[in-house]
Structure 1
Amino acid sequence: MSPLLEVSGLTKHFTARTNWFGRPISHVSAVDDVGFSLQPGETLSIVGESGCGKSTTGRLVLRLTDPTAGSIRYNGRDITCLEGGALRDLRREMQLVFQDPYASLNPRMTVGDTLAEPLALHGLVPPGKRRARVEELLALVGLRPSHARRYPHEFSGGQRQRIGIARALAVEPNLIVCDEAVSALDVSVQAQVLNLLKDLQARLGIAMIFIAHDLAVVRQISQRVAVMYLGRIVEIGPTAALFAAPRHPYTRALLSAIPVPQPRAKRQRMILSGDVPSPIDPPSGCRFHTRCPFAIDLCRSRIPAMETAAAGHDVACHRWHELPAAEPLPVESAAAGAERLARLQTRFVTQVPNVE
């Protein structure tokens, strides 16, 4: 099967300072030589610390931001230089779910108007049938037809995010970029939205790029994971393989910080020293060498190439094959998880009185 999306050498530099003549003299390396592919119906998660370039990568893929260099191929066609009507037609096939479900909705438009707008913009549904299509979209994300007459401020955060998902689905896209779509929601609401996304993907066959910093969420929803650090992808591979045997030291540090539902489990934390370097002046060689406990002189002088560690599992590290095996994450059995959840629910019911 040919990839739906192929990204190669993707780079984006933002101007940080200019001279008296308006010429740039320094820039921010937001994304630097990023490459990956995405199959139809697949979910690829991009994880990393704040400021590593995750959201910028998503916006570059959607052509909301123009790249400095590199190529983006969608269904075999290079979309890097598309403009005007051709770029507008592409918007129908690639959509975005924003992080903040309230700021991304127009407070002066009803939900019905918000969902009908892309239908009118792309001429997908005749005016007489748009109301029925809006009701169909609301039902698709678990909302009632009567909600079409309400405004965004009349909904909860989870409901607003469902509206954002419905808006993205309105034009029947092949690819959706979810830019930290559940990070602003409560944990219980996160689970509902994640289950909704997985169900819609299974039913509609949509490919997703899921941008997040919560590795527990990533583990639940994605088939593959790409780990970014300071604008570069340092490791990419199948979710199960990456969580079971992380190769890059940065990936190991991220996984060691995941809390597990076993209070008595003994784990060896990998705590990184120092702060993330400035993207205006990134370190030479491997960008992680300033915080890596395994760094050697080679790491400080040469940029590591992406190497294949296993089938479909690539890593950019000079010493990945020399590092000791990573400690596996403690996994809670299904029976133990159900018992713990039932115990918590019983405790909550007995301690919280009914309020009528």
Structure 2
Amino acid sequence: MTALLEVEGLVKHFVAERSVFGWATAHVKAVDGVSFTVEAGRTLALVGESGCGKSTVSRLVLRLIEPDAGSVRFEGRDLGALDAEALRAFRRDAQIIFQDPYASLNPRMTVSQILTEPLALHDLVPPARRRERVEELLRLVGLEPRFARRYPHEFSGGQRQRIAIARALAVEPKLIICDEPVSALDVSIRSQILNLLRDLQERLKLAYIFVSHDLAVVKHIADRVAVMNLGTIVETADAEALFAAPRHPYSRALLSAIPVPKPRAKRSRIVLEGELPSALNPPAGCRFHTRCPYAIARCRSEDPQLLADATGHATACHRTAELPPPDSIVPSDGGFSPALEKLLAAFGSVAEGARGAGVDTVRPMPGAGA
């Protein structure tokens, strides 16, 4: 299948300090050589800890900020070579849903004005039909047309996010970047928004880049997952393969933190110890080696390459083949295996069983209160 979006070697460093003469003396290496592809109608999830560069990547893809190096190609076109007019036309094909529904909507505009603005900007619908199109968009995201006369402050967080989704859909895009779209919402509302996104993807054949730190959410929606650590991708695979058999030590630690929807189930969490590196001065070699129990001298001096096997499962780790199999790390019966005891001893801690609720499958209903 031909890739809709191709990202190659993307780099973005922000100036953190300047000298008295204005010269840059320190940089935050937010994104440092990120590459991935997104196919039409599929979802790629970017996951990792806060500050790993996920949101910066999403803004670089849309050219909301300019990269220092690398390329982004959409349907074969190099976005870096587009002039202002061509870039404006591209924005019809690619939209973004921001994390905070309270900050992403203009409080001085009604819902009708918010949804009409992109229609007028791209001249998609004649003025006489714009009211009808606004009503169609509201129904599409499960809201009643009468809400068009209201202002954002009159809605709940879930309703606001539905309005933000409707705004993204107004220009009929092919790609939508979802930047933590449910992290600010209650758990029950999250499931409705997630199911809405999946339903819209099936109906409209949309491609998503789903940015999140919540792996339980990612498991529910993603087709493919890229795990980021300190500005780089350390593992990428189909979602089913990555959740069944994570290969990178960092991916395994993240997956061990997913809550189990069984209050009495035993679950072992891998607690990372060691020095947390700074993006201002990332360590030489593998950027995870300061917290990795398997680090050797080579890890401290040589940066591992992201290498894929025949199945497309790629890992950036010098010792992938030497790690214990994932089945022995988190046994299916929830107990503790000898391999797990050894691994947790290396990490230095054993966490108690997690309690939590998994993502449910409640379908959004038209006119619902969320």
Q: Same fold (TM over 0.5)?
A: yes
Aligned to 1:37: 37
SS in 1 for 2:30: strand
Residue 156 of structure 2: aligned partner? 156
Q: Aligned in 2, Cα 1:310/1:272: closer, same or farther, shift over 3 Å?
A: farther
- Give the AA of the match of 2:103: A
Report the CA distance shift for 1:144/1:275 in structure 2 as closer, same or farther (over 3 A): farther
Count the aligned residue pairs: 334
Is contact 1:245–1:328 with CA below 8 Å preserved after alignment? no
Instruction: Report the equivalent of 1:122.
Output: 122
1:147-296 equivalence runs, <5 A? 147-296=147-296
The structural deviation recorded for 1:275 is 4.7
Q: Which amino acid aligns with 2:121?
A: L
Is 49-58 or 13-22 further displaced after alignment?
A: 13-22
**Superimposed CA distance per residue, residues 166-203 of structure 1 (whole angstroms, 9 cap, x where no aligned partner):** 00000000000000000000000000000000000000
**1: CA distance between counterparts of 2:332 and 2:215?**
14
* Cα separation, 2, equivalents of 1:217 and 1:244: 16
Range with bigger deviation, 320-329 or 223-232: 320-329
Deviation (angstroms), 1:19 = 1.9
Match of 2:89 in 1: 89
Cα drift, residue 17 of structure 1: 1.3
Q: Work out whether residues 268 and 330 of structure 2, in 8 Å CA contact, stay in contact via their aligned partners in 1.
A: no
Give 2:232's aligned amino acid: R
Please give the secondary structure, in 1, of the residue aligned with 2:6.
Answer: strand
Q: Which moved more, 1:319-328 or 1:287-296?
A: 319-328
Backbone CA RMSD of aligned residues = 1.6
Deviations 1:37-81 (A, max 9, x none): 010001000000000000000000011010000010100111123
Whichever residue aligns with residue 264 of structure 1, its letter is R
Counterpart of 1:346? none
TM-score, normalised via structure 2 length: 0.88
Q: What is the aligned partner in structure 2 of residue 304 from structure 1?
A: 304
Q: Counterpart amino acid of 1:234?
A: V
2:85 corresponds to 1:77: no
Residue ranges of structure 2 left out of the alignment (5+ in a row): 335-356, 359-370
Match of 2:102 in 1: 102
Alpha-carbon separation, structure 2, partners of 1:171 and 1:93: 8
* Whole-angstrom distance in 1 between the partners of 2:95 and 2:283: 35
Question: Which segment is superposed worse, 268-277 or 210-219?
Answer: 268-277
After the TM superposition, which segments of 4 or more aligned residues of structure 1 sit over 4 Å from their partners? 328-332
CA displacement at 1:84 relative to structure 2: 1.1
Displacement, 1:274? 3.2
- The CA deviation at 1:290 is 0.3
User: Are the counterparts in 2 of residues 260 and 330 from structure 1 also a CA contact under 8 Å?
Assistant: no
- One-letter amino acid of the counterpart of residue 277, structure 1: P
Per the alignment, residue 352 of structure 1 pairs with: none
